[in-house]
Amino acid sequence: MGERSWLNGAMHAGFFLLLAASAARVAARHELTDRLTVAALAVAAILAVFYGAGVVLWRRLGRALPVWLGLVLGVTVALVLLAPSFAWCAVPLYFLCLRLLPAPAVLAAAAVLTAAVIAGQLRIAEVAEPSLVLAPIGIAAMITAVFWALQHEILRRQRLIDDLVAARDSLAASQLRAGALEERARLAREIHDTLAQGLSSISMLLQAADRSWGTDRSRALAAQAAAVADENLAEARRFVHDLSPARLDGRGLADALRDLCADTERRTGLRTVFREAGEAAATGEAAAAALLRVAQGALANAVEHADASEAVVTLSHLGDAVSLDVRDDGRGFDPVGTARGRGFGLPGMRERLARVGGTLAVESQPGAGTALAATVPLGATVAPNGTAPLGEES
């Protein structure tokens, strides 16, 4: 809009300058008492007023601008025929025609203006020369060609800008959808690994308490159920804000896993052993949270699905990576045949590990227990949309 206003202003200023220069030339070269000279200057003044009124009312005229331009062209043709010195005023009018009129009307207007200039030049020329005809035609042709080329380039660039804006909006919408899906997947993982497992533990504890109701054991089981409920309430508040698990507050991954194993054994009766191998190194908050959640899910599966009597959790420090192995002696399953039917657990583990560049391997067969091995590189950070960790190659 700014460029178009600037161009319109330049054309209007050029018209008035050429009109003034032509009027000064006529006044200097002819007697002011001559009737044709007076008539030409009067028509030039009328044209200036009429043209100026159109400039002032430019925005209000709107669709009526071509009508105004047609009247300006008519007065200009009459002025050029009356005094050929005003032929230069046709140049800015060429541009106005190209801006305001459709292609057929532009050709017609250009032909009329060119014919008027040629007629005016021939009327005052002492000798009819080819240049008097060819020069106006050449000027009109060059102006038209250059302007149309510029207009075509402007339209091409505008289409390119429109395509870029559309692509940007589409990319923004895609990123918004991807972010929403990623957040939905994150909440699903957290709900499965915390609330769902916690509710399952509460249910088992309350069922056990009901079977021994009225005894000290039932009160102890009810107290454990209440503790699990409080813990899961705290976890729910944390994962809503995408915070690390509460077990990792101010503690290392090994201590958090050791505490998890002790709680699992105390609440479920599953004998749970924790082991650590290798020289401990800083695991990183993101990797530690992912591995802790994997251990929670694996132990929950051992209790709820595998009917295991023992589970062994091993944390191994491998120099440039850390590995977590969870083995149980439960009923096992067919990883290939039942992969689609085991709920959100294993896919959720893989997605969680993928966000920090980790991998998950599962070994199991019916009647032979299950072994999960999760490996995460040291220094891993959370990457968006489940891609490799930031700063790592996938």
Please calculate the CA angle 264-269-274 and round it to the nearest 5 degrees. 45
Cα dist. 241→183, 187, 256, 285 in Å? 11, 10, 20, 15
pLDDT at 393: 37
Domain boundary among 84, 107, 128: 128
CA nearest to 155, candidates 259, 322, 4: 4
pLDDT digits (tens, 9 = 90+) for 32-44: 778 888 898 999 9
Q: Are 315 and 261 in contact (CB under 8 A)?
A: no
> pTM to 2 decimals?
0.46
Domain span at residue 31? 2-128
CA-CA distance, 290 to 219, in Å (whole number)? 34
- Is residue 153 assigned to a domain? no
Q: Which residues of 164-200 are buried (b: 16+ CB within 10 A; e: fewer)?
A: eeeeeeeeeeeeeeeeeeeeebbeebbbbbbebbbee
Domain boundary among 86, 113, 128: 128
- Is residue 378 assigned to a domain? yes
- Residue 366: DSSP 8-state: T
pLDDT at 278: 86
pLDDT at 388: 42
pLDDT digits (tens, 9 = 90+) for 107-141: 888 888 888 888 877 776 666 777 777 877 887 77
Mean pLDDT for the stretch of residues 345-372:
87
391: confidence class by pLDDT, cuts 50, 70, 90: very low
pLDDT digits (tens, 9 = 90+) for 4-15: 567 778 888 888
Cβ contacts of 388 within 8 Å, gap of 6 or more: 354, 357, 394
Q: Is 125 left (phi over 0), alpha (psi -120 to 50) or beta?
A: beta
Q: Which residue has the higher pLDDT, 384 or 47?
A: 47
The total number of residues shown for the chain amounts to 394
What type of residue sits at position 115? A
**Tokens at 352, concatenated:** 């969680």
- Is residue 165 assigned to a domain? no
46: confidence class by pLDDT, cuts 50, 70, 90: very high
242: confidence class by pLDDT, cuts 50, 70, 90: low
**Tokens at 233, concatenated:** 């309430």
Domain boundary among 128, 163, 192: 128
Contacts of residues 254-260 at CB distance under 8 Å and 24 or more positions apart, as own/partner, are 254/280, 254/315, 256/288, 256/292, 257/291, 257/292, 257/295, 257/313, 257/315, 257/324, 260/292, 260/295, 260/296, 260/299, 260/313
Residue 332's CATH number: 3.30.565.10
CA-CA distance, 238 to 246, in Å (whole number)? 8
Least confident among 190-194, 349-353, 365-369: 190-194
pLDDT at 126: 65
- Is residue 369 assigned to a domain? yes
- Is residue 197 assigned to a domain? no
Percentage above 70 pLDDT, the chain:
84
pLDDT value at 50 more than 50:
yes
**Tokens at 326, concatenated:** 């969870």
pLDDT value at 364 more than 50:
yes
307: confidence class by pLDDT, cuts 50, 70, 90: confident
pLDDT value at 244 more than 70:
no
Judged on CB neighbours under 10 Å (0-12, 13-18, 19+), 12 is middle
pLDDT digits (tens, 9 = 90+) for 189-232: 666 666 666 777 777 778 877 787 878 778 787 887 787 777 77
Contacts of residues 173-182 at CB distance under 8 Å and 24 or more positions apart, as own/partner, are 178/384, 178/385, 179/384, 182/384, 182/385, 182/386
**Tokens at 81, concatenated:** 């025929």
pLDDT at 243: 52
- Is residue 94 assigned to a domain? yes
pLDDT at 387: 44
- Is residue 160 assigned to a domain? no
Residue for token pair 């591995």: 291
Rg, the chain, Cα only: 43
- Is residue 220 assigned to a domain? no
Considering its fold, how many domains does the chain have in total? Answer: 2
